[in-house]
Structures are given as structure tokens and as C-alpha cells.
């Protein structure tokens, strides 16, 4: 089974990214799925206008994926821009896409409502996303419920192509986890870069501690029982802990054995324990960027071979083959 997904290089990865997507990717890899994962650098151009920042973010996302366990032996990891065939398919799909289909895209409305520039790239985002997917012909695409509409647009465009030119493009199915971990941010809202409330996986030790201790709590003093069910510190801890650790900390909350400062330190220690090996590998990759580039180059070679094969069939169907 072929699985495809991508992530925008828009900043350092955080706990929300890990539990929302990366943990799932590692599970697919462990099960032996044919996994294609790309760094969506072309998509990032819709909002990022600083070339040095973009380069840094691309490297950090790729290095983070490798550090957390995605391997070139089992996963095709590549930059979106290293597969130019995607852009040709993007144009072909654009010539099939009704304006109304894009005007109904919730993502465009949400982003412009938040003040992002309503540029053509942002408007056409779902078509390029469809090209990213269809050029690799995956069976399934992992998506959150908020991204399901974009995959429906992909399926609509594939269906339009097949109706116009004959069966060519596979209609991928959404892979929506039955239970998605909602990771609270330091302010209690959903953890998101756009909210500035993240706990970053690869922040240095001092910054990581600041982020953890920034988690909002109430004013209950140490020695008094705490309501673990309502505590954001505990909610994050339980995502990382085993059942015995979760039960033990819950008991300490009930008995007033820990204050919020103690709980935050326990959480920090757990993060460092869980991601310690990945953090060490990430630091090593930062000193040896050529290793990351080697993985991306290998992934680009494999991804382009697949894209060229599929594009050749598409070009033939539409009459562009020589």
C-alpha cells in the first residue's frame, strides 16, 4: 500500500506535529507501507518571502523527520520542488478545475480571514496539492478532518480527468485516524505555530524549559489537591507516558503531593526522555547538513522516477506526447 503526505516548512516542529502526523508516519513505516513524504517548499511560498528563512525551515523539517526515525531505506523523503513534473500536472489539472470548486475551499477563506494575503498561489493551493498527490498515485493520504475537503477536491479533479481522457488517475482514499490526539498549547488552545503556543521538539534545553513552564495553570498552591483532568500539563504528559506513569501522577495530583511547578518539571523530564535520542541525532545533523541533503537527493531521485513514469501516461492521454 502506498501512503503519501507532506508538511510545510513553516518553522520548528512541535509536539502537536508529532502526535498529529509524525507518529502516524512512523507507524506506517513500521508496518512496511510504501511511504512517500515530501517537504512542501513550493506551498510555503504562498506565505514565506524570506529565502534564508525558507532554506533554514526546509533543512530543519527534513532533519527532524530523519532524527525522529524516518529512514531512506524505508521511506521516500524529498523536497516538493525537486519533482518539477508536479508543476506540469498542476497546470493540466488547473485546466479542468471549475472556479467554484476552489471558491468553496474552506482553507482559503480561513487563511484570508486571518489576514493572509489573498494571492493566486493561496487560491490555487488545492490544485497543487492535488498534483502532489496524483503524480505519485498513492492508495491513501493521511489527513486530519480539517484537511478532508482538500482531498475531496483531489478526488474530484482525478475523476474529471478520468472522465475527460479515460481511466488514468487513481482516486486516493483519506486515512483519517479514528482518534486524533488534540495537543493543548501553552495557552490551553490547540497547539499551533500560528498561535505562538508551541512546545518545540528540538528547542535547546533552556528554551524548552521556558516553553514547558509557560503552560497556563490556575493559582492552587502546592499541598492542595489538583484536578488533573482539567490540567493542560497533565493532558500533555499523558500523551507521552505509559499507563503506570499516568496513574501515578494522577494520584499525586489528587493527594496534593505535587504542585504545578513540580508537574511541569515532570513533564519536561518526560519530553527529554522520550525525544532524547532524536534530539541528539538532530543536533548531529545540524553539524553535518550533507547527511540530510544526501537523504533528500536519494528521495528526489526515487520520487522523480515515479513522477516521470506517471506523467508520461498523463501526457499521452491529453495529447502532449510527441
Catalytic residues: 111, 190, 193
Query: What interhelical angle do 85-94 and 289-318 show, nearest 10?
Result: 40
Find all residues with CB under 8 Å of 199, minimum gap 6, and list them.
14, 15, 185, 186, 191, 208, 211, 212, 236, 271
- The DSSP-derived string for 119-159 is -HHHHHHHHHHHHHHHTT--SEEE--GGGHHHHHHHHHHHH
| Closest alpha carbon to 267 in 244, 246, 251, 243 | 246
What is the C-alpha R_g of the chain? 22
Find all residues with CB under 8 Å of 146, minimum gap 6, and list them.
none
- The DSSP-derived string for 222-267 is TTS---GGG-HHHHHHHHHS-HHHHHHHHHHHHHT---HHHHHHHH
Element (H, E) at 310: helix 289-318
Name the DSSP class of 218: -
What is the spatial distance between Cα 240 and Cα 238, in angstroms, rounded to a whole number? 5
Amino acid at each position: 500500500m502506498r501512503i503519501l503526505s507532506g508538511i510545510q516548512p513553516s518553522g520548528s516542529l512541535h509536539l502537536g506535529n508529532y502526535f498529529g502526523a509524525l507518529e502516524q508516519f512512523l507507524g506506517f513505516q513500521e508496518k512496511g507501507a510504501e511511504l512517500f513524504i515530501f517537504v512542501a517548499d513550493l506551498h510555503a511560498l504562498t506565505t514565506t518571502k524570506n529565502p534564508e528563512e525558507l532554506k533554514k525551515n526546509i533543512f530543519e523539517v527534513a532533519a527532524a523527520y530523519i532524527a525522529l526515525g524516518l529512514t531512506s531505506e524505508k521511506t521516500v523523503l524529498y523536497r516538493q520542488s525537486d519533482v518539477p513534473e508536479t508543476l506540469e500536472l498542476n497546470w493540466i489539472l488547473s485546466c479542468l478545475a471549475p472556479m467554484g470548486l476552489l471558491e468553496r475551499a474552506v482553507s482559503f477563506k480561513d487563511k484570508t480571514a486571518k489576514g493572509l494575503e489573498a494571492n493566486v498561489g493561496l487560491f490555487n493551493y488545492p490544485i497543487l496539492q492535488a498534483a502532489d498527490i496524483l503524480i505519485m498515485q498513492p492508495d491513501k493520504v493521511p489527513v486530519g478532518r480539517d484537511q478532508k475537503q482538500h482531498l475531496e477536491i483531489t478526488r474530484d479533479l482525478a475523476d474529471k480527468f478520468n472522465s475527460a481522457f479515460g481511466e488514468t488517475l487513481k482516486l486516493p482514499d483519506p486515512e483519517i485516524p479514528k482518534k486524533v490526539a488534540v495537543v493543548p498549547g501553552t495557552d490551553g488552545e490547540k497547539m499551533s505555530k500560528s498561535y505562538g503556543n508551541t512546545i518545540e521538539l528540538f528547542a535547546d534545553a533552556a528554551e524548552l524549559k521556558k516553553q514547558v513552564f509557560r503552560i497556563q495553570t490556575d493559582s492552587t498552591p502546592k499541598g492542595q489537591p489538583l484536578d488533573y483532568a482539567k490540567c493542560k500539563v497533565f493532558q500533555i504528559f499523558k500523551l507521552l507516558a505509559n499507563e503506570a506513569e499516568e496513574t501515578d501522577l494522577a494520584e499525586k495530583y489528587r493527594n496534593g503531593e505535587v504542585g504545578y511547578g513540580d508537574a511541569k518539571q515532570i513533564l519536561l523530564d518526560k519530553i527529554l526522555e522520550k525525544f532524547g535520542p532524536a534530539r541528539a541525532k538532530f543536533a548531529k545533523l545540524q553539524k553535518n547538513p550533507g547527511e540530510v541533503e544526501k537523504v533528500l537527493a536519494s528521495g528526489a531521485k526515487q520520487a522523480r522516477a515515479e513522477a516521470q513514469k506517471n506523467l508520461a501516461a498523463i501526457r499521452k492521454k491529453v495529447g502532449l506526447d510527441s
